[in-house]
Chains A and B, each alone.
Chain A
Amino acid sequence: MHPYIPNTTIEEDQMLQSIGIKNTDALFSDIPAEVRLTRKLNLGDSMSELELSRFVKGLADKNKSIDDMVCFLGAGAYDHYIPSIIKHITSRSEFYTAYTPYQPEISQGTLQVIFEYQTMIANVTGMDVANASMYDGATACAEAGMMAVENTKRKSLVVSKSVHPEVRQVLATYMKFHGVEVVELDCKDGVTDAEALKTAVSGTTAGVVVQSPNFFGIVEDLTEIESITHNSKAMLIVNVIDPISLGILKTPGELGADIVVGEGQAFGNSLNFGGPYVGFMATTNKLMRKMPGRIVGETTDIDGKRAFVLTLQAREQHIRREKATSNICSNQALNALISSIYLTTMGKNGLKEVAEQCASKAHYAYDQIIGTGKFKPVFDKPFFKEFVVQSSRKASEINAELLKHNILGGYDLVKDYPGMENALLFCVTEKRTKQEIDKLVEILKGM
């Protein structure tokens, strides 16, 4: 017997009798002998809960987490404070054991959560509408690319090299198979080179993809990029991998973005070794019906009561099949719930305060690190909570030294940016204390 399989041999026999067969072999007689598995799967025997727990904890103990190390690593995955109430709400199984709200009458919980999530994402990004969420920031960007291609009927995208390398890689994969050319644009002084952009865009450019704050932590000046993009009738796709920044920064909507996509991990989601995270997508009213993914709308029931429902489904794969706006089927509802609770809990003042603290602590750390004399600035541009510094030693050596002191060092940029030898991208969130920053600086100084 097994705890997840309730029927005993008694019920099995009753069911077999009701069907009119002797044993369950008869139910598998439609599987031809030539394709049957004649041996037992090589997986081992079942484990009891105690054995499982001991074994899996043993694996977990082979890891070092951010509880064991002080984290100065970001690069698209951020160690922010996660309010305790998030886990209390998300562990309600009415939320996590439900599926896509196909039956709205018994899914108003999930549907209202998503409606509120869409509202918060639209407000935070300054856009008209948002969808119910996507797999992650990188796939959301790829979907935005396809959306721009579909809408402009043009077949190429320009993407700045200051966009997260993994976002560019995912975009490249999707576009390669989708038959869309992707032109990568070199940076100048750590930001998108507007002059280069002018020559890169043409009448075949469907969209221009930029990120702000960009991969180097720098807030991009989008004014000129916006006008170059729109002058060539391409779409401006703004990628926000660090959405905490929107607590203080001007919204992409106000800056003229047509599509805003990004990574919502920073909104209350654990680091989780890279997933599950949650991509967000927001756009203008004009493009609303071209957006991929699930969308929840407000309506009324037959008694006139306000209610929420999956809507604009005529865009989706289960109706339009190969002509759908995307193949995406699910969203990341539980992570969207996490993001909603986070944005609700932090609220209007909290998100701003978190953003201000990140900026203050990052600027303090930057000044102190430069003050050691061992590191020099790489770019002279306004940054939010991540910054690049360079030394005379290899970044990997510095990180190895920091790890000895249980400090998770910065991101080694040479992996993605040849020529940026010895450059590290540090991240400082509101979780870091002055003491922790000072310790980091002291070790760096002594190296």
Chain B
Amino acid sequence: MREYNELIFEISREGRIAYTLPACDVPETCIKSSFPASMLREKELGLPEVSEVDVIRHYTLLSNKNYGVDTGFYPLGSCTMKYNPKINEDMASLPKFTGLHPYQPEETAQGALRLMHDLDGMLAEITGMAQVSLQPAAGAHGELAGLMIIKAYHQNRGDSKRNKIIVPDSAHGTNPASASVAGFDIIQINSDEKGAVDIEALKAVLNDEVAGLMLTNPSTLGLFEKNIKEIADLVHEAGGLLYYDGANMNAIMGYTRPGDMGFDVVHLNLHKTFSTPHGGGGPGSGPVGVSKKLVDFLPVPVIEKQADKYVLNYDKPLSIGRVKSFYGNFGVIVRAYAYVLTMGAEGLKKASEMAVLNANYMKERLKNHYYLPIDDICKHEFVLSCFGPDQHEVSTLDIAKRLLDYGYHPPTIYFPLIVDSAIMIEPTETESKETMDKFIDAMILIAEEAKTNPELLKSAPHNTHVRRLDEVKAARTPVLKWSK
């Protein structure tokens, strides 16, 4: 295939256009007389001039340099890169959804409001929460909203000294970052040797300044917190609340629910568990669900059913306020709704069952070739630690780059931080045994190459569009836009 390395600005030619507009059918306003000269643009717009075919070819050729779930296996741990069903795309692009103005009268958007109200209820049922808000735009945004709710709850009780959030060292980086943005101080606690919450370490930091504990369960190691009930009781006894990071919800649907484990606040990632596409980094959607005592603190507006009508209720005096314009990433919400309806109760449980079976199968087959620091039943993902503490000739990065040569998106690497040289593998339920077997074969081959020809790994990848990049140069002398 021909190599394509041009920027859109470089193929621009003066006078070319890719658009058509009808002739202006009203008297043209003289821009110069409508605005003072000081308000008008003097500089030329720095945009390309290309024809329509130029646009199509440019982006098509760029798309060829990408790798998505539709291209192949994408076992990126913690990101749940499951298949994105196509009917969901069709549903989200129905003109009577895409063509709705957020401020049009409620009576003209009853279908959309009902859809959102329904999904609220479904997600509440799946998580065991009393109510859900679909407003947050992404997982980290849902975390932020959830933490604000925790803060508002304590403040409303007059308990204003609770300004600390406990975060385990295995947590996603967003957890402490979100807590900080919500105005909390962070207490990090170390995990025990099995990657679980160290109960003694937790007890040692619990006091009347603790607002809550953030937890991912199963943890970022893919392991279920067996002591979850004791943890929840300890935090609650100390007057704190329990926050559930829903990144790993794909492991437990229909088996257990955060609400039943004792969590007070939950966020979900519709782009993970509920099959909506990751979009190259977004848009996502990060609904936040809460237990009964926190319902009044959810962001406004709240979608409610009053008699036979769905309405947007802004009259919630205890609400944390608004965290985003309008009502959420509606287009993403439609896809997740279609997914839940397609799967049904049994389908969702089956998805979790197979996600866990697939992960355990891969773990068992790979543990003889890579170092598995915690050899236990895993949930939907597991974490390897390269070849173990004594083998350092090739790195986790080298293994990841070599996987590119074999046509795979590598697993998540160097996370969680508590595992040295981590390789975090999450197959999801949408992959067949054959796909996983081929990936396992490639991993085993790479383990062999690491011994016989380490240079091959260190210089990988060899057959991608570009090879290893100079990231230091990118950061030291940043070039963040094209210029002539």
Contacts and interface: CB of A to CB of B under 8 A. Distances in A.
B5 A43 contact: no
B482 A116 contact: yes
Interface in B67-87: 67-71, 74, 76, 79, 81-85, 87
B344 A43 contact: yes
Given A295-B480, A332-B282, A345-B55, A350 B19 contact: yes
Interface string B214-231: 000000000110101100
Contacts of A277: 325
A85 B52 contact: yes
B461 interface: yes
A112 B7 CA distance: 8
A219 interface: yes
Nearest to A26: B377
A313 B414 CA distance: 15
Given A322-B179, A434-B25, A31 B252 contact: yes
B296 interface: no
A78 B240 CA distance: 44
A324 B341 contact: no
A114 B345 CA distance: 39
Interface string B149-189: 00100000000000000000000111011111111001000
A348 B365 contact: no
B327 interface: yes
Contact of A364 (B26, B71, B404): B26
Given A20-B364, A97-B69, 9 more contacts: A64-B104, A65-B96, A130-B481, A167-B325, A254-B42, A312-B475, A329-B173, A352-B45, A364-B29
Contacts of A115: 7, 480-482
Contacts of A46: 341-344, 346-347
A31 B299 CA distance: 32
A349 B439 CA distance: 49
A323 B280 contact: no
B17 interface: yes
A301 B467 contact: yes
Given A97-B70, A105-B465, A330 B101 contact: no
Contact of B91 (A53, A294, A301, A323): A53
A29 B377 contact: yes
Contacts of A62: 110-111, 114
B210 to A, nearest CB: 16
A123 B9 CA distance: 12
Given A15-B361, A275-B283, A103 B55 contact: no
A361 B341 CA distance: 44
Nearest to A104: B469
22 contacts: A18-B364, A26-B377, A27-B353, A30-B223, A43-B122, A43-B340, A56-B337, A93-B84, A98-B278, A98-B279, A108-B465, A122-B46, A272-B100, A297-B479, A302-B469, A318-B172, A322-B186, A329-B173, A348-B47, A350-B19, A357-B21, A359-B29
A274 interface: yes
A386 B349 CA distance: 50
B113 to A, nearest CB: 9
A328 B94 contact: no
A79 B68 contact: no
A65 B46 CA distance: 34
Interface string B291-327: 0000000010000000000000000000011111111
Interface string B233-262: 000000000000000000011111100111
A354 interface: yes
A273 B327 contact: yes
B204 interface: no
B322 A73 contact: no
B218 to A, nearest CB: 9
A343 interface: yes
A109 B64 contact: yes
A59 B91 CA distance: 10
Given A11-B433, A116-B7, A219-B39, A18 B365 contact: yes
B35 A382 contact: yes
B433 A123 contact: no
B303 to A, nearest CB: 11
B446 interface: no
Contacts of B43: 126, 251, 254
A104 B178 contact: no
B473 A65 contact: no
B1 interface: no
A91 to B, nearest CB: 7
Contacts of A138: 322, 324-325
Interface in A248-300: 248-251, 254, 263, 270-278, 288, 294-300
Interface in B28-73: 28-29, 31, 34-36, 38-50, 52, 55-56, 58-60, 62-71
Max chain A Cβ within 10 angstroms of own Cβ: one of B99, B125, B257: B99
B27 A360 contact: yes
A347 interface: yes
A352 B257 CA distance: 53
Contacts of B63: 89, 92, 94-95, 109
B213 interface: no
Contact of A123 (B46, B101, B299): B46
Interface in B96-111: 96-105, 108-111
- Can you list the 5 inter-chain pairs with the closest CB atoms, starting with the nearest? A274-B326, A123-B46, A65-B99, A62-B111, A46-B344
Max chain A Cβ within 10 angstroms of own Cβ: one of B137, B323, B471, B480: B480
A170 interface: yes
Contacts of B97: 60, 63, 65, 272-273
B374 to A, nearest CB: 12
B9 A116 contact: yes
B173 A324 contact: yes
Contacts of B346: 40, 45-46
B338 interface: yes
B110 A136 contact: no
A223 B38 contact: yes
B224 A67 contact: no
Nearest to A141: B325
Interface stretch (A2-10, A197-205, A229-237, A370-378): A2-10
Contacts of B267: none
B377 A27 contact: yes
Contacts of A219: 35, 39
